[in-house]
Structure 1
Amino acid sequence: MVGNGVASIGECMLELSGQTGPNWRMGFAGDTFNTLWALHALSPDRPATYVSAFGDDPFSQGQIAFFAENGIGIGSSPVIPGARPGLYAITLTGAERSFTYWRSDAAARQLASDPAALSKNLENQELVYFSGITLAILDEAPRKALLAAVAKARSAGSLIAFDPNYRPRLWRRREDARAAIVEALAVTDIALPTFPDEQTLFGDDTPQATADRLGQLVREVVVKNGEAPALIAEGGALREVAAIHVAVPVDTTGAGDSFNGGYLAARLAGHSPQEAARRAHRVAAAVVQVRGALAPFETLRAAFDKL
């Protein structure tokens, strides 16, 4: 019997977001953390755990404290002496963002260095979430350990959700990314891909091609495609759910991650895939109207519950 907790596995970095002039705002973000943030905001009664590895420097301590202040724990994630978090800076052209990273020696790359601690973090979770970026930051042996821990959690009754989230710069070879993502899909119950990523990595011509391909591997697939409709494949049926147009977006950082969090929160609450996608679109539309990847909890809740 699993509990009602949610766990997300990956790397949370220091985020520098550009303001006017030489001043920068520091926060904490990363794809799987952004999703957990939204999921936790929308399912506050579920224990939330961010599964990673952390340093013992002041920035890591601040990160862990920030999680705790917002009701998110780190479980048995290792704290590694001398390690430190990764860092990225966002620069904006209008609302479109570009990123510069400093993350090659980040502590999170050791998140699977203790397989027993990793497995313990995934025990009795109702939902376990991870992404292609989680896979990309790991070498081959720890990647295998991660997928083994996820498979173990799934066999014990946890629901597994995965966003392939392909980032070419994080992979040595395209073939490595394809192989690792296909392995991850084999232990996945809900896949949350983004069409342009799938087109780049697998050569899909259309979102329907992505949905058809993944629908043969995973029982529930939601293909995101920016402001175009999301495409849901479940039980052999395909359904479109229209996105929400935001006339003047402020910052598109974290929109897809927040969609994932909204979708998973709705599914855990018993909503149908179509209703979950409608709520997730509203959450994503709210996120692009604030700066940075993390919208305030009340903003996310208002969007999720809006009639």
Structure 2
Amino acid sequence: MNGFAAIGECMIELSGANGDQWRMGFAGDTLNTTWYVRALADPDLAVDYVTAFGDDPFSVRQKAFLRDNGINTAHSPTIVGARPGLYAITLTGAERSFTYWRNDAAARQLADDADALARSLEGRRIIYFSGITMGILSPKSRQTVLNAVSNARRHGSLIVFDANYRPRLWENAETAKQVLSNAFHVSDIALPTFPDENALFGDVTPADTAARLASYGVKEIVVKDGTEPALVVSGGVSTNVQAAKANAIDTTGAGDSFNGGYIAARLADLDPVAAAKRAHKVAARVVEFHGALAPMGEARKAFDA
């Protein structure tokens, strides 16, 4: 088994507002994680982003952006007449809020071709997806994704999942609970964020989150909690891993970069606690930049420090 693949949505990102001036880039939770896996993993590792593209000029630029940064797109389809979703970041201090335009985004059709999705996941050492991946899809497509990752898992891939709960993406909380729980059930590594799990499942502490996920059969769990310690549970042992200090100016992508750092460290065969320490360093550096994607070289320096 070799290579890494993530499934999700690449969006147009507008950030760094200064009056009426905005900077355009590309981002999205699983894409952000893929960016940091590419930055931190062995250069020879195949890294793919599995999504769906439109055929408009912005989609062409998306593909070029990924290609130019060493990220392949496997068998991701191009949807005639579709276009990317878009979001804008506004900041209050270092804390961010988002406004989205994504109802007709091409990525909502990423699982329409089940055979193409399955081919995109073949032979991967690690496959990553998130609750946002699932939230943008139709019920039928959600099941297609679960079937695809379950099949890949049976053939030896490790499945990594972060619920990344965003209420506005879901029909209702009960649907979100069911779909996200089903996703955790087919995962080997869980990278949830405690405030999300508290909001949806009512977990009182990170330990409650870890215990619930362990009851689903997840063997390796890292519960992120912002600047609080991450709770790492593996092999029946629980360890709190302190966050790294940062001069944060924009927390966009903090959790995604943690996930990327963690996955890259596990691909390098570091143990879960050591991987969480590396991941905290990466996240601390990323929040010192505007937007979700910090320079790959800066992320690498933090990872290696």
**Same fold per superposition (TM over 0.5):** yes
Distance in 2, Cα, partners of 1:204 & 1:117: 37
Aligned residue in 1 for 2:58 = 59
SS in 1 for 2:18: coil
Superposed CA offset, 1:92-135 (max 9, x none): 11111000000011000000000000000000111100000000
The percentage of counterpart residues that share the same residue type is 61
Distance in 1, Cα, partners of 2:214 & 2:226: 20
Aligned residue in 2 for 1:39 = 37
- Correspondences of 1:92-111 after superposition (within 5 Å): 92-111=91-110
Aligned residue in 2 for 1:220 = 220
Deviation of residue 237 (structure 1)?
1.5
Aligned residue in 1 for 2:190 = 191
Gap regions ≥5 residues in structure 2: none
Deviation of residue 56 (structure 1)?
0.3
Aligned residue in 1 for 2:180 = 181
Deviation of residue 211 (structure 1)?
1.1
Does residue 10 of the first structure (1) align with residue 40 of the second (2)?
no
Distance in 2, Cα, partners of 1:58 & 1:234: 45
Q: Which runs of 4+ in 1 moved over 3 A?
A: none
SS in 1 for 2:244: coil
Deviation of residue 186 (structure 1)?
1.3
- Correspondences of 1:193-208 after superposition (within 5 Å): 193-208=192-207
Distance in 2, Cα, partners of 1:175 & 1:152: 26
Distance in 2, Cα, partners of 1:220 & 1:201: 21
Gap regions ≥5 residues in structure 1: none
Distance in 1, Cα, partners of 2:18 & 2:65: 25
Aligned residue in 2 for 1:243 = 243
TM-score (norm 2): 0.98
Distance in 2, Cα, partners of 1:120 & 1:278: 34
Question: Does the CA-based 8 Å contact 2:16-2:290 persist in structure 1?
Answer: no
Deviation of residue 245 (structure 1)?
2.4
SS in 2 for 1:73: coil
Aligned residue in 2 for 1:232 = 232
What is the one-letter code of the residue matched to 1:69? D
- Correspondences of 1:1-307 after superposition (within 5 Å): 2=1, 4-43=2-41, 44-217=43-216, 218-246=218-246, 248-306=247-305
Question: Does the CA-based 8 Å contact 2:16-2:291 persist in structure 1?
Answer: no
Let me know the Cα RMSD of the aligned residues: 0.7
Aligned residues: 303
Deviation of residue 20 (structure 1)?
1.5
Deviation of residue 179 (structure 1)?
0.3
Question: Does the CA-based 8 Å contact 2:87-2:99 persist in structure 1?
Answer: yes
Question: Does the CA-based 8 Å contact 1:35-1:258 persist in structure 2?
Answer: yes
Question: Does the CA-based 8 Å contact 1:212-1:233 persist in structure 2?
Answer: no
Distance in 2, Cα, partners of 1:60 & 1:127: 26
